[in-house]
Amino acid sequence: MEYAQLGNSGLKVSRACLGTMNFGPAGGVGVGSCDEADARRILDSFLDAGHNVIDTADAYTGGESERIVGRAVAGRRDSVVLATKAFLPQGPGANDRGLSRAHLTRALDASLRRLGTDHIDLYQCHQWDPETPIDETMATLDGFVSSGKVRYIGCSNFTAAQIVESQWAAERRGGTPFVSLQSQYSLLARGIEPELLPTCERHGLGTLTWSPLGGGVLTGRYLRDTAPDRTSRIGRLLNSPSPLARAWAEDLLTERNLDIADETARIAADLDTTSTAVALAWLRQRPGVTSVIIGPRTLDQLDENLAGFTLQLPADAIARLDGISAAGA
């Protein structure tokens, strides 16, 4: 099993990270397509294979994702790197969201209760909060580390400038800096490369990359001139009452993205493997990537995903993928 050091920390993480946004019934953020029995089978198989990072958030499926994860890891908590996130609304009140001391303190205690643990290995800011001074946020997170409730801290969906501001705020007070960033990265979305990855390297952050399969487009599931299955992720989003959800799904099914998916499928055929494995292997082999977040909904999907963490792409395959995906990087 291959492990990597997470940023400027001593924490060792597997190259695959199990994302649990789908664990539990629909609600909050996440589609909730895994009931607890299926989620437990996926999680147990993932850990049994030697991988050790599980990522969740207080907003996923209305908090049920954290509860399921907590019950599943109870018997082997010390061997798991447990990561969760906070920011999104947890109630109707003005202080029920964000990165203020008031909200984060309540959010952490609630996550600890749902996860059934006395500490979180990696506690992450789910997104930037323009309404809270970053010094307040970093001081609060440092207090969590000092108390023993949190081991390491990270951020998600921050810009390069926001990372720098955060690290400077920690340095000013001699506090705990971020050791990780969660950011979108795939053959379809390479915007992390010009600024974010160099900033992470300079400021000691490892990376946990999400949506590595481009919402499923890179699996080859979606075809030109064929309406997506209504039960698929993109099919559900296209039929969502939310204009933002529909727009997000439409943006995935562009000619450029489908061209990249076609080339990924051709390479997979050449190598006698799957498009999923090729897309994940390409991302795993990118400079600056610490761990890749996968979100399987079935055991078969988990097995297909994990194949991408042992596949070594030949140089010519990498060059082909780099070339076709470079436009719009």
- Which residues form the catalytic set? 60
Q: How far apart are CA 190 and CA 203, in angstroms?
A: 20
Helix (H) or strand (E) holding 156: strand 150-156
CA torsion 132-134-137-142 (nearest 10°) is -170
Q: How far apart are CA 87 and CA 104, in angstroms?
A: 8
**Residue 325: Cβ-neighbour burial (10 angstroms; 0-12, 13-18, 19+):** buried
Closest CA to 276 of 296, 251, 253: 296
Token pair for 59: 């907003």
In the block, residue with structure tokens 């946990």: 208
Cα atoms in the 13 Å half-sphere on the side-chain side of 169: 18
